[in-house]
Amino acid sequence: MTLELFTAFIIYACVTAITPGPNNMMCLASGLNYGIKRTLPHIAGIGFGFAVLVFLAGVGLLSILDYFPAVYHVLRVLSILYLLYLSWKIATAAPLSNDANKKGKPMGFWQAVAFQWVNPKGLIMAIAAVTNYIPDTPGSAFFFNVVLVSTAFGVVSFLSSGTWSVFGLTLRRFLNNPRYYRIFNVTMAVLLVLSILPMVWEMISQAAF
């Protein structure tokens, strides 16, 4: 992989990773509700899980979805249901002054890893990265490029999720009022629901035809 191509890939990875999506919305809410230390396993799970996802896309294992479209449809339905559940959890989170959040459990490492498989934005980003930024070179050079791209994307995802979590934590000082805190969490829940509407619309359109 040339330096120019790798630079273009890093720009693509940074832009797509930092923009709002299910992972970032959840990390923003988790940083606010649980703090950085308790959100760290979630952040690490996103970075590791996405790196694995890109790697598997690079070696062609995600192409199984082309041969078994039913599996892809099941994953999309699961992602919708899970995101709706997470939206409800965020919207109903206890106020910061309540001890309930100290006892609550943010998403864990392996949960975050598994979520990457039902994250519609993540699947699209992984496939696009492999298609556009990994040159079709023979043998070990191709494998090296796959490892390089997947590792770099994992690091970028980790930093992006961490940034959103820190942003959530900094909002604490402005959301001491339970009313504002509730408005914020409900807004995050609504944005998370809105992030899945394109996928829902696509499924409805495909069913109609």
pLDDT (0 to 100) of residue 19: 84
pTM greater than 0.75 (yes/no): yes
Residue from 182, 31, 188 nearest 93 by CA: 182
Straight-line distance from the first to the last Cα atom of the chain, in angstroms, rounded to the nearest whole number: 42
Exposed/middle/buried for 85, CB within 10 Å: 0-12, 13-18, 19+? exposed
pLDDT of 128-174, one tens digit each? 888 888 877 777 888 898 999 999 999 999 999 999 999 988 888 77
Three-class secondary structure of residue 32 per DSSP: helix
Range of the domain at 44: 3-208
pLDDT (0 to 100) of residue 88: 85
- Percentage of the chain beyond pLDDT 90 is 24
Tokens standing for residue 143: 């494998």
Count how many domains the chain has. 1
Exposed/middle/buried for 198, CB within 10 Å: 0-12, 13-18, 19+? exposed
Binned at pLDDT 50, 70 and 90, residue 100 comes out as very low
> What is d(CA 192, CA 201) in angstroms, rounded to the nearest whole number?
15
Binned at pLDDT 50, 70 and 90, residue 97 comes out as low
CA angle 21, 25, 31 (to 5 degrees): 145
